[in-house]
Structures are given as structure tokens and as C-alpha cells.
């Protein structure tokens, strides 16, 4: 019971940190290209990861861990950051945040496929209700939103769910911060080349919000958040603790309204309220 409680506490802290990711990305893509933002945040986080691995004298992962680490890198180091950055050129961060409501369902599915977990049937009911609420919201927007942006967000969610589940399984052996650090190290050569190839033509026109957004997604979204998140998933269970992501839209919508002054429609708030209720039911029956 104590281990599960620690898992929920650590997972919740990770969710709070991740809640600022999409608003920060939205601010950054105002002046940085999505490709540069994706690669630069990975390079900065990888450098920090290398420092931690060296300072704490961490041994190299086993050969059998290489493929899972590559999957983590493709999911959370490359896939999710790049696809969300591209999506945020078409939709607002407030709109994209609601799609995060699909992440618990995606994470739970991959937790079953990759982690061997078997939640109770009632758990899936609450998860599906939360996911359908998000899908219904997206469809209800009609012409006021972007189909391209929505499809990019769905693809990002699927890759992120896979990366979360794979990383959580590895964290049971390697540790949470070690998993994301090694995944960043594996992606570093490609990300460094991409960052150099997509450097902005000039730096004078880049505003303070873009720099702050880059700093946040590099340090917190790409590294610090995963330290707590993977630990939470490993201790409390992938499917169960993964439902905490249903709370992320609530935090994210608040940040989008306060920091970016984006309009937050009542429908967004309503959908968020539904999925917050779903997390309570999913937690009970996981």
C-alpha cells in the first residue's frame, strides 16, 4: 500500500510538470520551427542526462534493453514533441490539451501489451468514457478547428502512450531517471544533427516567451517530469497511475488561459470535468 501511495504521489507530480508542456510549446513555436524546437529540447536534456549518468556513475544498460530504450526515444523524445509542435501550428494549446485525455487510455492499452498488466473490466469503461469525451469534443468543433492539427495530436498521443508504457517497464530494472537519460543519449546524435540543420536564420527576432518555452520543455518536460512519472508508473502500475493524466487537461487549460490568454470555451471545461470524474472510477477498478 505504501509503495502504491508513493507511486501515485510521484505520478501526480509528473503530471503537474507535464501540464506546462503544451502551453510552453505553443509559446516556443511562435519563433522557433517545430523541427528545431524538437531537436534542441532533446539535445539540451541529453546533455543534462549525460552529466547525471556520469556524476552518479551509472553503468551501461544491457543489450536487451537497447530496443526498449529506442522505443522510448521514438515515443517521448522524438515522436510526441515533434508531432505536438507541428499540431500547435494549426490549433491552440487549449484545444490540444484536451487530447491529453486520450493518453491514459493509450498508456493503459500499451501497459497491457508491453507490461503484462490486466485491469478489471470496469476500469476500461471509465477509460473509454474519458477517451470518447475527448473525441466527441474534437468532432463537435467542426470547421472551427483543424483536422490536420487533430490528427497530429492523435498520432502524438499514441506514440507517447507507447513510450510511457515501455519506459515504465524498464524503470522497474533501471530506474526512472536512468531510462529517460539513456533514451536521450541514444537520440542525441540524430537530434544534434537536426538541431544544427534547422538553426534559426537569426536570433534577434526571437522573443522572451519563446526562450522561456524552450527552457521549460527542455529541462522539465523532457527530463525532470519523467523522473517522477516513470517512478510513479513503476511503483503504482502503468494502467492505474496512468489515469492521473486525465487531470492534466485541467492543469493545462488553466495555464493556457493564465499565461497565453487563450480562450477556454465552456465545452473544454465540461469535457475536462467529465474526464476528471473518470479518473476516480478508473483508479478504483484498476
Which pLDDT score, from 0 to 100, does residue 211 have? 95
- Check pLDDT > 70 for residue 138: no
Do 260 and 231 contact (CB within 8 A), yes or no? no
Distance CA 7, CA 209 (A): 33
Question: Given the C-alpha cell 501489451, which residue does it identify?
Answer: 113
* This prediction's pTM: 0.82
Distance CA 255, CA 157 (A): 20
Contacts of 159 (CB under 8 A, 6+ apart): 74, 75, 76, 79, 80, 83
The residue among 52 and 118 whose pLDDT is bigger is 52
Mean pLDDT of 44-63: 92
Summarize pLDDT for 213-270 with one digit per residue, the tens.
999 999 999 999 988 988 888 888 887 788 787 777 777 767 767 776 767 677 777 7
Tell me which residue of 125, 119, 207, 110 sits closest to 162, measured CA to CA.
Answer: 110
CA neighbours closer than 13 Å in the CB half-sphere of residue 84: 32
Element of type H or E holding 235: helix 225-236
Q: How confident is the model at residue 24 (pLDDT cuts 50, 70, 90)?
A: confident
CA neighbours closer than 13 Å in the CB half-sphere of residue 235: 20
Chain-centroid distance, C-alpha 236: 18
Distance CA 172, CA 230 (A): 9
Which pLDDT score, from 0 to 100, does residue 2 have? 65
Mean pLDDT of 170-197: 92
Distance CA 125, CA 278 (A): 9
- Check pLDDT > 80 for residue 280: no
Q: How confident is the model at residue 196 (pLDDT cuts 50, 70, 90)?
A: very high
Summarize pLDDT for 66-79 with one digit per residue, the tens.
999 999 999 999 99
Distance CA 212, CA 147 (A): 29
Which pLDDT score, from 0 to 100, does residue 285 have? 64
Distance CA 234, CA 59 (A): 20
Amino acid at each position: 500500500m505504501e509503495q502504491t501511495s508513493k507511486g501515485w504521489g510521484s505520478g501526480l507530480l509528473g503530471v503537474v510538470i507535464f501540464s506546462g508542456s503544451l502551453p510552453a510549446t505553443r509559446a516556443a513555436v511562435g519563433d522557433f520551427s517545430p523541427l528545431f524546437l524538437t531537436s534542441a529540447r532533446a539535445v539540451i536534456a541529453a546533455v543534462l542526462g549525460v552529466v547525471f549518468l556520469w556524476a552518479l556513475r551509472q553503468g551501461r544498460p544491457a543489450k536487451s534493453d537497447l530496443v526498449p530504450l529506442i522505443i522510448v526515444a521514438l515515443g517521448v523524445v522524438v515522436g510526441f514533441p515533434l508531432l505536438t509542435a507541428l499540431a500547435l501550428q494549426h490549433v491552440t494549446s487549449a484545444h490540444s490539451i484536451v487530447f491529453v485525455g486520450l493518453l491514459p487510455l493509450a498508456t493503459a492499452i500499451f501497459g497491457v501489451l508491453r507490461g503484462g498488466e490486466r485491469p478489471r473490466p470496469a476500469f476500461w469503461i471509465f477509460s473509454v468514457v474519458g477517451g470518447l469525451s475527448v473525441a466527441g469534443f474534437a468532432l463537435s468543433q467542426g470547421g472551427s478547428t483543424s483536422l490536420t492539427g487533430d490528427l497530429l495530436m492523435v498520432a502524438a498521443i499514441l506514440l507517447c502512450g507507447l513510450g510511457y508504457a515501455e519506459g515504465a517497464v524498464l524503470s522497474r530494472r533501471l530506474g526512472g531517471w536512468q531510462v529517460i537519460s539513456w533514451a536521450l543519449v541514444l537520440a542525441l546524435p540524430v537530434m544534434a544533427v537536426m538541431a544544427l540543420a534547422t538553426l534559426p536564420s537569426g536570433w534577434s527576432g526571437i522573443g522572451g516567451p519563446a526562450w522561456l518555452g524552450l527552457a521549460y520543455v527542455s529541462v522539465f518536460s523532457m527530463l525532470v517530469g519523467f523522473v517522477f512519472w516513470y517512478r510513479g508508473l513503476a511503483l503504482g502500475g502503468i494502467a492505474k497511475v496512468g489515469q492521473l493524466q486525465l487531470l492534466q487537461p485541467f492543469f493545462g487549460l488553466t495555464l493556457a488561459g493564465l499565461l497565453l490568454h487563450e480562450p477556454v470555451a465552456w465545452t473544454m471545461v465540461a469535457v475536462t470535468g467529465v474526464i476528471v470524474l473518470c479518473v476516480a472510477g478508473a483508479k478504483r477498478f484498476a
